[in-house]
A = this chain, B = another copy of it.
Amino acid sequence: MARFAINRKESFGKPPGSVVFIGKKRVETVGIELITFDQGSYDEVAIPVTDHVTLPEPDGRLQWYNVIGLHDTDLVRELGDQFDLHDLLLEDVVNTELRPRMEEFDNCLFFSLKMLRFDEVKNLIYSEQVSIVLRENLVITFQEEPGDVFDLIRDRIRTKKGKVRQSGADYLTFALLDMIFDHYSSAVENFGDVIEDLETDLLDNPTSDMLNQINQFKREINFLRKHIRPARELAFQYSKTESPLIHKATRQYLKELAANAAHASEIIDSYANMLSDFLHVYHTSMSSKINDVMKILTIFSAIFIPLTFIAGIYGTNFDFLPELHWKYSYAVFWGVLILVGLIMLNYFRRKGWF
């Protein structure tokens, strides 16, 4: 399948706003978690998912719904109806190939982006689609499978660490995005370490394996860039939105978020440029090597080919070849050979070839 797939194949030709799941089904049953909290109290429940989902009434406290598993489009649609979400928003929620974006709807802000987790043991980056809906006193997150980068935020809610418990839905959304971006930065750094190791090797001894490696890194960095760059726009848009859902106190945090996203994106670009330079260096260093090989060949050829020719002359069988019969010919012959050899060697030495 194409790497940069838009992958609307499944939704191809469907009316816009059709809730069609695009992606690989990663989990069997859909789960819904609800955390309700304000400064004073805190509740955590799992909503049972059957044919019909009954959601608890909002009680004035901030609600954070987390929906795990996106393939059950009927459920997503039902949730959408209960929360009065636009059908385009729902279409985007279940499309795991969507370009990261923020969209403003009448009653909510919608964020769609990739969540990256770096598995240090397997040296792999896991990527998962996550959507965030921000409404007054309500945050809904949609993710593809259990396990996410939000556990630290759940901890902060439980332990009242930081400002999450004192703040509103806009701050919680900021905190979720900030956590996702922290993981971007972390992935970028891990990647940077590997690239810089390669650089040292490249300058020492370029091999054709490295050419493959440079290429592979280029692909991976393009993958990262594809997700992080639009996320930067998203953060910038979020910090600039005039939606009444954002309180004044949160603005300063959003500016910080946008600045950090810009920083991560810049660093990615730095690494991408480094890789392009690597290719250039590899190529230049290869032509330098060709030059060296050529010199060796030329030195050997230019010395021994004339000598062989001289020897060839006295290997001829002419009847009248006076030098052959002179007593000191052989010694002179050797002298000439050595002389010619030395002249050639000197010639190349003066050219600075060795």
* Interface bin, chain A: 35 or more
How many Å lie between the Cα of A305 and that of B90 in the bound state? 74
A178 proximity list for chain B (CB < 8 A): 16
- Verify if A354 is at the interface (C-beta below 8 Å from B): no
* Cβ–Cβ contact B15 & A175, under 8 A: yes
- Interface hits, A140-165 → B, CB 8 Å: 152, 156, 161-164
Instruction: List 25 A-B pairs, Cβ < 8 Å.
Output: A2-B188, A4-B271, A5-B267, A6-B189, A7-B189, A9-B189, A13-B152, A17-B163, A88-B256, A103-B256, A211-B285, A215-B281, A226-B270, A283-B283, A293-B298, A296-B302, A297-B298, A297-B301, A314-B316, A315-B317, A317-B324, A318-B324, A319-B324, A320-B327, A321-B330
Question: In the complex, what distance in Å separates the CA atom of A211 from the CA atom of B286?
Answer: 11
Known: A218-B277, A296-B302, A300-B302. 20 other contacts (CB 8 A): A1-B193, A2-B191, A3-B192, A16-B253, A88-B252, A88-B253, A99-B266, A208-B288, A215-B277, A282-B284, A286-B291, A290-B290, A304-B305, A305-B308, A308-B308, A316-B317, A316-B333, A317-B317, A317-B324, A319-B324
Residues of A within 8 A of B (CB): 1-9, 12-18, 86, 88, 92, 99, 101, 103, 105, 152, 156, 161-164, 174-175, 178-179, 182, 185-186, 188-193, 195-196, 203, 205, 208, 211-212, 215, 218, 222, 226, 252-253, 255-256, 259-260, 262-264, 266-267, 270-271, 277, 279-291, 293-298, 300-302, 304-309, 311-330, 333, 337, 352
Chain B nearest Cβ from A1, distance in angstroms: 7
Residues of B within 8 Å of A316, CB to CB, are: 311, 314-315, 317, 324, 330, 333
**Contact present for B222 and A6 (CB under 8 Å):** no
